[in-house]
Every structure is written in structure tokens, then in C-alpha cells.
Chain A
Amino acid sequence: MAADSYDDVAKSKDSIPALEVAPQDLYHAKSFWTKYIFCQDAKVIGIQYALTAAAIGMVGLVSSWLMRMQIAFPGLIPMDAAAYYQLVTMHGMIMVVYLLTALFLGGFGNFLIPLMVGARDMVFPYVNMVSYWVFFLAVLILAASYFVPGGPTGAGWTLYPPQAITSGTPGGDGLGIVLMLVSLAVFVIGFTMGGLNYVITVLQARTRGMTLMRLPLTVWGIFTATVLALFAFPALFVAGIMMTLDNMLGTSFFMPAIVEFGERLSYDGGSPILFQHLFWFFGHPEVYIVALPAFGIVSDLISVHARKNIFGYRMMVWAIVIIGGLSFIVWAHHMYVAGMNPWFGFFFATTTLIIAVPTAIKVYNWVLTLWRGNIKLTLPMLFSIAFIITFVNGGLTGLFLGNVAVDVPLSDTYFVVAHFHMVMGIAPVLVILGSIYHWFPLITGRFLNERLGRIHFWVTFIGSYSIYFPMHYLGFMGVTRRYFEVFEGDAFTYSITGINQFITVAALITGAAQFLFFYNIIVSSKLGKKAGKNPWKACSLEWQTPDVPPTHGNFGKDLPVVYRWAYDYSVPGSDNDYITQDTPPSAVANAKAEQT
């Protein structure tokens, strides 16, 4: 319910603070180019980000198919060790940076932040547009590395020196590693433009009445993740620049004196572990850059579809912020056996396990939101349930790896692979899928096909669990990761061939189901069932726009005014089981809302 005159609202009994900054006019695009290509509308930019991320993500998906084939059925698809390591590397880097980070922050961040905080657009629409095109350039540079002599780098996504830039690694003595480092640097530049936008929009452009403690948790998640990214990515950036200098100009930031294949290289005095510190100072927050938006979004999905307020909202906000803060002092738990000073182990194991507490609180609160709810088993809810199971599993195995002494036998084994795929691969992807089913009606005005969606859900959840749950047991056996040929020996109590074949078959099926999902998106965007306005009966602002899908400027003539938090579901005394954020108390006089 938009207020007709700002002054009226300020004086009315629902008292709302007056506007501090006069409304700004937006850039109005006229040509095709400025409307759809170099577009300054955050919603379009979000979709551009999402489509680009999905496209390069498909390369990552197919890479995983190919390497799983090599692990389980060697020889069926001809490849040499170099090609295998290139697949491993590109799969990892694409999925973590170019798919998940870009999709959550660039995709969901752009589409949802202005709508959810009640803004007409991001605060710097032009910079926002440039941000996408810089990201696009980064993706092109990355893709170009497939076409240079020697191919893309096979250094592993962690790019550890010295091997990343020496000749024993695919692409290490060619252009592969150079293009990877340049692409990452360009990505960081593009992200910084977008990231500043997201943060400043949340801080400065919230509509009247939208206090920080009324923000949907989706916004809290994306906002906090963006702040983390703005602090963390510079570490990756400088590490990338320093490694490029080592590679191109012969500096020795990360390179000690080494003898490779009998030849003494000209480096001297650098520290490979310095790179690892920089990489993980970025890399660990990166886990939460992916996880926090998922935490936030899934909170909203669960709340909407269980028709119940999110349990313990304030605790949820603080948990997000605390996890974000702690994520900067745990990085070296990736390096327990990297050769750093062993006494660091005590500190980083302690900080790491402390993170389990706020994380556990989030899990409890999701489940307690289901408790005494009125649960609609819609597709977004199904994916949210799958997320909770997957995340709990992946989070708990983090307690193995975070506990330094337990990490010693498990590090560098398939236990690690299984853990991080569960916790930062599958779990966030399940949220992405659920949230696409949830917001697709807002983006296109149509539902995704329900039957295809159900098949997609069952195959994806059962399939991904079948891939990664058994994989932990390979890790307990001590099966080392990044082996081109699976090693079968006395070290292992039981053959690992059968289990590897099972995992590969599950991976092929699960991957194929994603193409069914793409098909669903394409077909339903034209032929899907019409959704109408606010089909899920949600409280948050993005569903209260006058037009569906929302048009440029989002909210028509006047911005909405916010009177309550985003979770007034099933409020006692109210006629509906939801009260939207822009409903003034006077309009629902009988409702006994406790929290605003």
C-alpha cells in the first residue's frame, strides 16, 4: 500500500520517519542496446549475471562428468593425465567463483536487493551495468584459455605455487595459468563495482520504515556476503598479481630456489606458504560468500512456504553477522598439514569449531520454523528440506576437518572432496534451485512446470546425496584426491572401483536432471501457468509491486512504506495468514503482531 503523500505518512498514527533524501529520477533507456544489452536496470543485470554464470557453469558440470568417467571407467573417454587435471581445475574454479559467487551476488543480489529493500534500483546503476560487462569479460578470458597452446591451467583450483607456474603442471609454462590469473583479477574488479553497489544500496536506499531489523534474511545474507567479498577478494587479487609477476617477470614472491627436472630455476627466497595464506584468506570467506546468501534465502523460502514467521529472527541476523566476522580468522584450517608453524593449529582449530555454534543455531531455527508451522510441500519447500539435510551433513563433517588432529589423516583425501561439495556445492545449489522455483513467477509471471520440477527435485536430491555420502568413506580409507588413475592397493581394506562407478553413474544422472531443469525454464517462461500477483502469499516487498513482472523503477509512482518485518505469517487475529510489509497497523487493527 503506497502512501499518497510522504508528509501524510510522517504525521499519521503509524508514524514513519520522513524521507531524508529526495527521490532521484532513473535513467530511462530508449534503444534496444540500452534496454537489454548495456542495461542499467538491476533486474535485467541480475538475469544477465545468472544466465552467464549458468552458461559457464555448464562447462563446469560437463567437466565433472568427464573426470568422473575417468575415475570410474578409465579409457572409455580417452584422456591423458594433463587433460584430467585441467578438467579438475576448471571445474573447481568455475563452480566456486564464476558460477556460485556470480549467481548469488550478481544474480540474486541484483534482482532481489532493490525489490526487497523497497528501492527503485541500485544506487549506482551505471557502475552496476559496467560490473556485469567486466564479469562477462572475465568469463571470456577464462574461456579463451581452452584455446591457447597447452590448454587451460591444470594447477588445481587452489593454484598452489610453485607447481602452478612450473612445467610439470599442464598450462604451467604456457598461457593457461596467465589467463586464469588475469581472468580472476578482472573478475575481482567487476565484482568490486557490483559489490559496492549492493552494500550501499542496502545501507542507503532502503525505503522509509525499512529498518535494518526489518530486512528479509535474504538481504541480510547477500549483504553480509558482499561485505565479506569486498574484504576477501583483494587478497586473491594481490596473490594473483604477485604470481603473475613471478611467472612473467621472474620475481620470487612465492618461489624459493628450486630444481625442477634437474634444472635449477632462477627463483630464490620466496615462500609458497605465503601464497596459501593469501589464497585462503580469500578462500575461507569465499565459502561463506556462497553460504550466507543461501542461509538467508532458505530462511525466507521456509518461512513463506511453512506459513510461519522465521523462528528467532534477531538471532538469525546476529548469527549471519558473527559467522561473517569469524570467517576471517579461520582460514589456516585449510593449511593444518601445509607445513606452517604447528602451533597455529591450536588457534585455528578453536576458532573453526566456534563457528559451529552460530551455524548450528541457524539450523535449529530453520527446523523450529517448520515446527508448528503449516507446511506447504511446494517445490521451494522441498528444495529447502533437501538443503537442510545436506547442509547438516556437510556442516557436521566440517567438525571432523576443523578439529586439527582429525584433519591430519583426512586432509587431501576424498573426505575433503565430499565435505566441501556437500556444504558449499550441493547445499547452496539446492537453495538456488528452490529459489528459482520460488521467484520464477516474479521474474516471468509464470510458474515452472510442477511435474518436471518434482522429477528434478527427486533426482537431484537423491542423486547428489548418493554421490557425496559414500565418498566420505573413501576418505576414511585414506584414498587421496586428485589422482588421475585410481590407486588400488593394500592400503585400502576393500576395492574402491565399485563405489567409484556407483558415484559416477549417480553423477551422470544428477547432471542430466539439470538439463531437464534448463528445459523447464525455457519452456515455462513462454508456456508456464500464469502466476498472477503474489502467488505464494508472501509478505516481503518484492511481491508487492504494482506490475508483475516488476517494471523499470520497480514500484510505480510511489515507493512503498514499510510498517513491519517480513515475517508476519499466521498472525493471531488477522483475517489472512499473512500481512505484507507495507500494510499499516491501522489496516489490520485486530492482528496481534508481536515483532515489528
Chain B
Amino acid sequence: MFVVLLVLAVVLGSVVFHMWSPWWWSDIASNWVGMDDTIILTFWITGAVFVAIGLFMAYCIWKYRYDKNKKAEYEPENAKLEWALTIITTIGVIALLAPGLIVWNNFVTVPKGAYEIEVVGQQWGWSYRLPGKDGILGTTDIKNINDDNPYGLNMDDPYSLDDVLIDGDDLHILNNQPLKLNLRALDVLHDFYVPQFRAKMDMVPGMITYYWFTPIKTGTYEILCAEYCGTGHYAMLGYVVVDEQGDYDEWLSEQMTFEEVLASNGKSDLIKLALNKKNDF
């Protein structure tokens, strides 16, 4: 009969652990409160089911323990009961799915007016690109990548030269501004993940993926790579800083554009080439 106590201990112990656990998510720093809420809702529904089944089972094991003078009930089927349980379960599933799909719909619908930046992942670090004064990210091609052009920007794209390149520095983003991250990987899969923002999406070489969010709290946050990317996966860390406008502008003014990077490398011939293309355009 110890097993009855064991089942009770596991069920009630799980509930107690949940209530007392210091291991819980950190305060959210993005607009994805809906994800947290859906988790909490799922917790209530699934938790209730877990406790109910566990307690009922403990009751059955104790109440119907073996007695050689007794006989089990013989009831092969009970259509009414089975259908009732099926319908209740279906309702529970709909209650979980519907809010989940609504949040997902928000997640995949980038709001108009979100500003865009690019995150580039490669083994094993992060770099970033901002659209610059023209507000548009220049197009890229992996075949263009070389020492002078680590992002693979297209030289004949008029939107390229003013792009701001952030390589080896923290990323700064604006508080309370919807932001679309364009995600690019140069070698293998990566995933740009900040636990406090909740959102994530794999970065896949050969294509550009994206997600959006609105930071809601200033501060410095750690970036973790969330998709296994080889031996250095665990060390692919970084920082993102959420700034108010003033701090952000100050930071931005210290960053170099693609044109400035080329110039500082003594590649004015390349700039001239690109500018000619731009004038043609």
C-alpha cells in the first residue's frame, strides 16, 4: 500500500514544487505577455487534469486493492462515460488551442511601422546591420563575402553604402518601438534568443527568417544561441541593450557605416565603384 502514498506524494509533491520553485521565468521585457499568459492558462488546465487523474488513481489503488474473496466488476464498455470524457477533453483542448493560435497570429504578423535590422549569425558570434539613413537594408549575397565585405552586401545596391555595421559590439535597440529582426546565418543554423523577450526563430543559411517584438523595459540582456551550431554553440553569447531614444542616438552616432568601414580599410576604389552604380540607378 506504500504505492498509494507514493502516487499521492508524486502528485502533491509536484504541486508543492511548482508553488515554491524559485526557478521561474524572469520578468518579461517584450510585448509577448500573451505567451506567458497562454503558458499560465495551460498550466491551470493541465495541472488540474494531472492532479485529478493522479488522485483518482491513488483512490482506486487503495479502494480496489486485491482481496481474494472479491471479484472485479465486469464491464467491457460504457459508451456514455467514454463519450462524455471525449467531449470534455475536446473542450479542454479547444480552450488551449484557441488563445494559442491568436497569440501565434500576432507573432507572425509584423505590424506596419516596425523598424528593421539584421542579425547575422556565424560560428560562433553575432553581428548586426542597421539600415542607415535611407531606412532600407541593402541586399546581400553570400557570394560577395570577403575580408572587405564581411556581410556580403551587394555593391550595386544603392541602399548598401549607408548601412551601419556592428561587428564585435553589443546591439542597441529602441525601447517601446516595434522591431523586426531579419535573421541571416552564414554557415549553419543558429537562433537569436533573449529569454526575457520570449521570442525566438532559427537562422537558416540560404534564406532570411524573421520575427518581431517590442521591447518594453530598458536594460542589458544576454543573447543565447538556441539552435545547436557545433562545438562552440554554448559560447555563442552576446548582449543586447534596450535604450531610450537619447542613449540610442548617442550609441548610433559612434557606429560606422559600410562606406566608412571601406574607407578606413583604404578601399576607396570600392566606394567609388559603388557610388557610380548608385548614380546610374
Give Cα A473–Cα B14 distance, bound, in whole angstroms: 11
Q: Give 1 or 0 for each of A306-335: 1 = CB within 8 Å of chain B CB.
A: 111101111100000000000000000000
B193: CB under 8 A from chain A? yes
Whether the pair B225, A480 counts as a contact (CB closer than 8 A) is yes
Check A169/B49 contact, CB under 8 A, given A258-B186, A372-B73.
Answer: no
B75 interface residue (CB < 8 Å to A): yes
Task: Check if A375 sits within 8 Å of B108, measured CB to CB.
Answer: no
Question: Which of A311, A343, A400, A571 has a CB less than 8 Å from the CB of B39?
Answer: A400
Please state if B61 and A375 are interface contacts (CB–CB under 8 Å).
yes
Is A455 on the interface with B (CB-CB < 8 A)? no
CA distance A469 to B54 in the complex (A): 15
B196 with A491: CB separation less than 8 A = yes
Cβ < 8 Å to A, chain B residues 168-209:
183, 186-189, 191, 193-196, 198-207, 209
Q: Known contacts being A405-B107, A491-B195, A491-B221, is A261 close to B123, with CB within 8 Å?
A: yes
* A586 interface residue (CB < 8 Å to B): no
Q: In chain B between 200 and 239, which residues have their CB closer than 8 angstroms to a CB of chain A?
A: 200-207, 209, 220-222, 224-235, 237
A572 cross-chain contacts in B, Cβ below 8 A: 71, 74
A569 contacts across to B, CB distance below 8 A:
72, 74
| Candidates B10, B22, B81, B188; contact of A389 at CB < 8 Å | B10
Q: Which of B98-124 contact A (CB under 8 A)?
A: 99-105, 107-108, 122-124
Contact A353 B25 (CB under 8 A): no
Does B82 reach chain A (CB closer than 8 Å)?
yes
Asked if A584 lies at the interface with its beta carbon under 8 angstroms from chain B, I say: no
- List B contacts of A156 (CB < 8 A): 228
A461 to B187, CA, bound (A): 43
Residue of B nearest to A569 (CB): B72
Contact A374 B70 (CB under 8 A): yes
Cβ 8 A contact of A403, one of B22, B96, B224: B96
Any A CB within 8 A of the CB of B21: yes
Partner pick for B35 among A160, A259, A405, A470, CB 8 A cutoff: A405
Distance (whole angstroms) from the CB of B125 to the closest CB of chain A: 12
Task: Look across to chain A and name the residue whose beta carbon is closest to the beta carbon of B94.
Answer: A353
In the assembled complex, A385 has its CB within 8 A of some CB on chain B: yes
**Closest CB-CB distance, B109 to chain A, in whole Å?**
9
Q: Check A477/B26 contact, CB under 8 A, given A163-B189, A337-B202, A482-B228.
A: yes
Contact B205 A162 (CB under 8 A): yes
B42 near A257 (CB under 8 angstroms)? no
Q: With A and B bound together, what is the CA distance between A404 and B35 in angstroms?
A: 10
CB distance from A259 to the nearest CB of B (A): 5
Q: Determine whether the beta carbon of B61 is less than 8 Å from that of A376.
A: no
Once the chains bind, are A374 and B53 in contact (CB under 8 Å)?
no
* Partner-contacting stretch, out of A229-237, A391-399, A443-451: A391-399
Residues of chain B within 8 A of A406, CB atoms compared: 35, 38-39, 42, 100
Task: Encode contact with A along B122-134: 1 for CB under 8 Å, 0 otherwise.
Answer: 1110000000000
A485 to B236, CA, bound (A): 11
Chain B residues with CB under 8 A of A404: 100-101, 104
A473 to B99, CA, bound (A): 23
Q: Tell me if A81 counts as interface (CB < 8 A to partner B).
A: yes
The reply to whether A81 and B224 contact each other, CB–CB distance below 8 Å, is no
Cα distance, A483 to B1, chains bound together (Å)? 42
**B199 and A409 contacting across the interface, CB-CB below 8 Å:** yes
Pick from B1, B105, B191: contact of A337, CB below 8 A.
B191
User: In A342-391, which residues have CB < 8 Å from any B CB?
Assistant: 342-343, 345-346, 349-350, 353-354, 356-357, 360-361, 363-365, 367-368, 370-377, 382, 385, 388-389
Q: How far is the CB of A492 from the nearest CB of chain B, in Å?
A: 7
Whether the pair B64, A373 counts as a contact (CB closer than 8 A) is yes
Number of interface residues of B (CB under 8 A): 106
Q: Are B66 and A376 in contact (CB under 8 A)?
A: yes
A12 within 8 Å of B (CB atoms) = no
Q: Quick check: is B86 within 8 A (CB to CB) of the other chain?
A: yes
- Bound CA–CA A257/B141 (angstroms): 9
Closest-by-CB residue of A relative to B26 is: A493
Contact A309 B82 (CB under 8 A): no
CB neighbours of A312 from chain B (8 A):
76-78, 82
In the bound complex, residues from chain B placing their C-beta under 8 Å from that of A377 are 1, 3, 61, 65-66
**Does A154 lie at the interface of the complex (its beta carbon under 8 Å from any beta carbon of B)?**
yes
Binds B, one of A25-33, A120-128, A267-275: A267-275
Q: Are B234 and A357 in contact (CB under 8 A)?
A: no
Taking a contact as CB atoms under 8 Å apart, the answer to whether A259 and B145 are in contact is yes
| CB of B135 to closest CB in A, whole Å | 24
> A473 CA to B81 CA in the complex, in Å?
35
Interface code A148-175, partner B: CB below 8 Å = 1, 0 otherwise? Answer: 0000001110001111001011101000
B57-91 interface bits toward A, Cβ cutoff 8 Å, 1 = contact, 0 = none: 10011001111001111111110011001100110
B241 within 8 A of A: no
Q: Which of A393, A411, A474 contacts B23 (CB 8 A)?
A: A474
> Is A549's beta carbon under 8 Å from chain B?
no
Which residues of A have CB within 8 Å of B73?
308, 372-373, 570
State A154–B34 Cα separation when bound (angstroms): 36
Type the 1/0 row for A553-590, where 1 means its CB is closer than 8 Å to any CB of B.
Answer: 00000000000000101111000010000000000000
Q: Is B7 an interface residue (CB 8 A)?
A: yes
- CB contacts (< 8 Å) of B194 on chain A: these are 491
15 pairs across A/B with beta carbons < 8 Å? Answer: A162-B188, A163-B187, A168-B229, A168-B232, A258-B206, A270-B206, A312-B77, A342-B104, A346-B105, A370-B60, A400-B42, A403-B38, A409-B32, A477-B25, A567-B76
Give the A-binding residues of B (Cβ under 8 A).
1, 3, 6-7, 10-11, 14, 17, 21-26, 32, 34-36, 38-39, 42, 45-46, 49-50, 53-54, 56-57, 60-61, 64-67, 70-78, 81-82, 85-86, 89-90, 93, 96-97, 99-105, 107-108, 122-124, 142-143, 145, 152, 183, 186-189, 191, 193-196, 198-207, 209, 220-222, 224-235, 237
Nearest 4 CB-CB pairings of A with B: A256-B206, A478-B195, A168-B230, A405-B103
Beyond A81-B231, A260-B187, A572-B71, list 7 extra A-B contacts (CB 8 Å): A160-B189, A308-B74, A312-B76, A374-B66, A408-B32, A413-B226, A478-B195
